[in-house]
Structure 1
Amino acid sequence: MSSWDHPGLSPGQRAHLEDMYPGAALEADHSWPFGITVLEFVHRGQHLLLKASASSHHLEREYRAHTRWLGPLTGDVPELVHYDATAGVLVKTFLPGRIVLGTPQEHDAGSFRQAGALLARLHRGTAPRTAQHYEESMAAKTRAWLGRASGLVPDDQLSLVATWLDSFEPRPVDLVPTHGDYQPRNWLVRPDGRLAVIDFGRAELRPWYSDLVRMDHHDFVRRADLRTAFMAGYGQEPVPAGLEGGPPAPGRRLDELMQSLGTIVWSRDMGDAAFEEHGRSMLTRVLNHL
């Protein structure tokens, strides 16, 4: 029997992996419940991690991040080893350690300070690019999520979002490389106590504050000191040219609305009730601050 006889792999993926990594020893299955097969394996003494998916979007973004943006994080992120878009497989080095989520480090201000410093290296490692129409695009995506949220969100909240979007005035915004899901479930505490960052399948050019939305509506809600520690590691918040007092609030609120509505709709589609409720809490909190 081949090492790659795994139910989460297609026949084509199995053949490709058998050709690339014959005789590999599978160590652990870290597969996601929503369509990404993740396998830890050893091949010729090298400890590696496979991601395989029938849909290439997640893998393409991870590949792009590794080849364009992660240089400033060298040593604190896995290294890309192999990618084949046709086969739908991506292989990178395996970093030893424990996911921060569910460990004492999830509640430790020192961990959040480290995470802030790591994120600053990602955001500031590439010169920002000013996008004239980014917020227009995000407003259109938010309207699309809003349409799909009918029946999942109270009508009065849907109406509030629609009214806010009608009054929203897009502005140019600076974009930087972002992780896309920056929170303790994607931080790894290594044996020496240092943090590493994993899973760049949602990496994209976005405004810097997009990477804070998940924490703003979870970790920082329960512990304000964690935000203080995080920002101490991150450093001063960027200020767009010609503006004072931080990034424009409307653009930041737009990001929060888009992410909260997207969380609700995606979670319902995936059958993830707990994450759907998290999206509802996010949306309520955002609407209370409009």
Structure 2
Amino acid sequence: MTSDLPGLDGVQHELVTSWFGAVRLVADHSRGPGDAAVLRLRAEDGTDVALKASGPADHHLDREIVAHRTLLAPLVPGGRVPRLLHADRERHLLATAWLPGDLVEGGAAEREPDTYRQAGELLACLHALGTRVDGDWEAAQDARAMRWLDSPHRIDVATTEQLRAVVAAHAHPPVRVVPTHGDFHPRSWVVEDGVVRVIDFGRAGWRAPCTDFARLHRQQLAGREDLASAFAAGYGGDPRTGDVWRRTLVRVAIGTAVWAYQVGDAAFEAHGHRLIRAALAQVG
């Protein structure tokens, strides 16, 4: 029989059984209360499955299902992104083939230039899946940044007003957007036998290409020119220049500091405040 599957309700349990028959729980990779359940299962036929389950309030899983159905299929044959097996948006379930490997974050591979070269190559393949010009993207991003500033946070009053002024002064030209990962960094990469693969497309969407560089820029690539050069070489260039990039850094800084405060992540909130200071210094 299907073993107990933590984080799933009865309807989700039944749907998994209809997809795979009896399954065995291999490991629970869920990150904690409020996040989607992330389970590694073994199906009756021996297939290892990555199962994600959540509730109606989780928009990330819905976005990940859409990405698998509409964008990622051309990348699956290379074995570097998960293969979609089953999905049900109404019941908030996603099942993909399990991608072997260990998370890059926290391991030796996180400090190796070849990891970033491969990641850059994979990102270039993702960004090459489509392109279009969006005349509303910049304005929408600034509106979202202002909503963050309107919500509870611990950014001091003077800095908040400075950020509002900076965002209000942003130009909103049409921007080339591409399919992006939205959370591209070593916690979304796995590595096995030196081969890097990409997982977790819950923040996938059409954005300016440089946005997928933002988190790496202030974390793993900061002070590591060897990693930055390897990543740019794999990607085929470095989009971390120009006005779109500078505006992106301001928005990312705001979102990081406010979101981290709201979820109670003090360390990440402090990182967000450092991002704010760096972003304001750049525009100043």
TM band (smaller chain): over 0.9
Deviation at 1:104, TM superposition (A): 0.8
Q: 1:115 touches 1:195 (CA, 8 Å); kept in 2?
A: yes
Which residues in structure 2 correspond to 1:148-163 (within 5 Å)?
148-150=151-153, 152-163=154-165
2:35 corresponds in structure 1 to 35
Once residues 6 and 72 of structure 1 are traced to their aligned partners in structure 2, the CA distance between those partners, rounded to angstroms, is 31
CA–CA distance in structure 2, aligned partners of residues 147 and 38 of structure 1? 32
Q: Does the 8 A contact of 2:73 with 2:83 survive in 1?
A: no
Aligned-partner residue type, residue 28 of structure 1 = A
Residue among 75, 78, 81 paired with 1:77 = 81
- Greater mean alpha carbon deviation, residues 68-77 or residues 214-223: 68-77
CA RMSD of aligned residues (A): 1.7
In structure 2, give the amino acid aligned to 1:268. Answer: Y
1:276 matched to 2:279? The reply is no
CA distance in 2, matches of 1:148, 1:78: 35
Aligned to 1:241: none
Displacement of 1:30 after TM fit?
Answer: 0.3
The residue number in structure 2 matching 1:181 is: 183
**CA-to-partner distance for each residue in 1:18-53, whole Å, 9 max, x for gaps?**
333332010000002242100000002111110000
Task: Name which of structure 1's ranges 169-178 and 277-286 shifts more when overlaid on structure 2.
Answer: 277-286
C-alpha separation in 1, matches of 2:42 and 2:235: 35
8 Å CA contact 1:30–1:40 kept in 2: the answer is yes
Q: Secondary structure of the residue that 2:100 maps to in structure 1?
A: coil
**Aligned match for 1:286, one of 271, 279, 282:** 279
AA in 1 matched with 2:60: H
- Does residue 125 of the first structure (1) align with residue 124 of the second (2)? no
TM-score by length of 1: 0.90
1:256 CA displacement: 1.9
What one-letter code is carried by the residue in structure 2 that aligns with 1:218? Q
User: Which residue number corresponds to residue 230 of structure 1?
Assistant: 231
Contact 1:72 1:122 in 2 (8 A): no
Q: Secondary structure at the match of 1:260?
A: helix
Deviates further, 47-56 or 173-182: 47-56
Offset at 1:265? 2.0
Report the Cα distance in structure 2 between the residues aligned to 1:52 and 1:71, rounded to whole angstroms: 21
Measured after TM superposition, the shift of residue 237 of structure 1 is: 4.2
Distance 1:87 1:200 in 2: 18
Aligned equivalent of 2:260, options 267, 278, 288: 267
Structure 2 distance, partners of 1:254, 1:149, is 22
What letter matches 2:12 in structure 1? Q
Partner of 1:141: 144
Alignment of 1:7-156 (within 5 A): 7-33=6-32, 34-43=34-43, 44-55=45-56, 56-74=58-76, 75-126=79-130, 128-150=131-153, 152-156=154-158
CA contact (8 A) 2:55 2:92 kept: yes
Kept after mapping to 1: 8 A contact 2:5/2:25: no
Partner SS, residue 221 of structure 1: coil
Deviation for aligned residue 1:149: 4.9
Q: Aligned partners of 2:242, 2:113: CA distance in 1, in Å?
A: 28
Counterpart amino acid of residue 123 in structure 2? L
Residue 243 (structure 1) aligns with? none
Contiguous gaps of at least 5 residues in structure 1: 239-245
Give the letter for the 2:199 counterpart: I
Tell me the distance in 1 between the aligned counterparts of 2:96 and 2:252: 28
Q: How many residues align?
A: 278
TM-score normalised per structure 2: 0.92
- The amino acid across from 1:58 in the alignment is H
State the alpha-carbon separation in 1 of the partners of residues 5 and 250 from structure 2.
39
Q: CA deviation at 1:247?
A: 5.8
SS in 1 for 2:40: strand
Cα separation, partners in 2 of 1:278 and 1:72, compared to 1, 3 Å:
farther
Residue pair 1:40, 1:48 contacting (<8 A) in 2 also: yes
